Amino acid sequence: MNGFEPWLGDVTVSEGLWRFARSMDVQSDPYLRDHVVEGLPVFPAAYLVGLMTQAAHRVLPHLQVQGVRDVRFIQAARFKDHRGLTFAVTVKPSGTAPGWLPVEISSSMAPPRAGLPPILRTHASGEVLLGVPEAPPGRFQPLDFSGAADYAELYALPREIQHGPAFLAGLRYRRPARDQLLATVAPPGRPQLGWRPAPDAPGWPATLLNAVLHVAFSLGVMSSERTVLPLALESARLHAVPPGEVQVWARRKTSQEGRHVFHVASWDERGQPVGVFQGFAVQEVP
C-alpha cells in the first residue's frame, strides 16, 4: 500500500466467483483527501478501472492485462461523515468470450442510524482482457513542449473539484484546436519511483490511467465551461508502463446534449505507445 494507488482486499472464491473486499476510508487510502468534489472525498473513476484490472490479473496472474471494454461509471463513491466504505470487486469468468473477464465494483456503508439497513451501491462495471504480451504498434512523433502553458491552471477547473499532490500529474499543455488538447504528464509526487507502486504490482497503475484520462476531462471542462462527470469508457489498450513522462493527445469526437465523447492517445518520450482510450464519455453537470 502507498499514498497514491488503491489496493485490493482479501479474496474469497465461491462457485467460480472471485470477491475481493476491504474497508476503505481517508486513513487507509490517504490519496482520497486529494480528490475532493463539492467538499467530499470521492474515489476517482480512473482508479475504479485500475481496481478492475488488478482483480482480473489476480484471477489469471500468468497472463497480462491488455485492455478493457464496456466500462460504465454508475455511481460515485463518496466518503462523508467520517464513515468508511466496504469496497467489493467481483470477477466471475464467464467463458463466453475468451480472455475477457467481467468485473463489477460495489460498496456498502453503515447506515446513519441504528436499525436501518446498510447503504449498498454499485460504482462501476466492465470487462478486462487478459492475454499474452503483444508487440506494440508503430511509434508516435515525440513533441516539443518547451514554452507550453503550465498544467496547474487546468487543475483549478472546475471550482467544484480540488486536486492535491497525489493527483498533480500534469506538467504542461497546449490547445492546438478547440476540440484538442496536448499535454505532458509525469508520476505525481514520486518521480523516482515511476508509475508502478511495485515492479510486480498486478494490473494497470491507477495513477497512470488517471493522469492520461484527466487530459480529456480537462478538455471537457474547457469546452463546456462546466463541471463534467465520467460516464463510460468504450475500450482501452495499455501497451506499456513507461518509467517517466508521458505525452497525451485528447480529441473530442462528439458533443450532444451535454454529453462529450473523447479519444485519447498517449506515448512516452521516445514515441513508444503507452495507451489508447476510445469512447471516454463525460456528462455536463447542470
Calculate the dihedral angle through the C-alpha atoms of 187, 63, 73, 176, rounding to the nearest 10 degrees: 50
Higher pLDDT, 251 or 198: 251
Query: Residue 190 above 90 pLDDT?
Result: no
Query: Residue 161 above 90 pLDDT?
Result: yes
- Kind plus residue range of the DSSP H or E element containing 176: strand 170-177
Q: What is the pTM of this model?
A: 0.94
When pLDDT is averaged across residues 84-91 and rounded to a whole number, the result is 95
pLDDT at position 95: 64
CA–CA dist 103, 142 (Å, integer): 35
Residue 210 phi/psi, 5-degree rounding, is -65, -40
When pLDDT is averaged across residues 105-113 and rounded to a whole number, the result is 87
When pLDDT is averaged across residues 108-134 and rounded to a whole number, the result is 88
Q: Which residues, including other chains, have CB under 8 Å from residue 38's CB and lie 6 or more apart?
A: 160
CA–CA dist 43, 136 (Å, integer): 31
Q: What is the DSSP letter of 34?
A: G
pLDDT tens readout for residues 216-247: 999 999 988 889 999 999 999 999 899 899 99
DSSP line for 61-126: TTSEEEEEEEEEE-S--B--TT--EEEEEEE---SSSTTEEEEEEEEEE--SSTTSPPEEEEEEEE
pLDDT tens readout for residues 50-74: 999 999 999 999 999 999 999 999 9
Lowest-pLDDT choice from 41-50, 155-164, 189-198? 189-198
Q: What's the pLDDT band for 82 if we cut at 50, 70, 90?
A: confident
Query: Residue 273 above 80 pLDDT?
Result: yes
pLDDT at position 96: 62
pLDDT at position 43: 96
CA–CA dist 246, 195 (Å, integer): 10
Q: What's the pLDDT band for 134 if we cut at 50, 70, 90?
A: confident
Residue type for 245, please?
Answer: E
Query: Residue 3 above 50 pLDDT?
Result: yes
Instruction: Supply the mean pLDDT for the chain.
Output: 92
C-alpha cell at 50: 485500475
pLDDT at position 91: 96
Q: Which CA distances in Å does 263 have to 27, 169, 181, 219, 247? A: 35, 19, 11, 11, 14
Q: What's the pLDDT band for 94 if we cut at 50, 70, 90?
A: confident
State what percent of residues in the chain have pLDDT above 90.
78
pLDDT at position 192: 66
pLDDT at position 1: 40
Q: Which CA distances in Å does 77 have to 17, 70, 83, 109, 192? A: 23, 19, 12, 10, 31
* Domains of the chain with bracketed CATH: 10-131 (3.10.129.10), 149-284 (3.10.129.120)
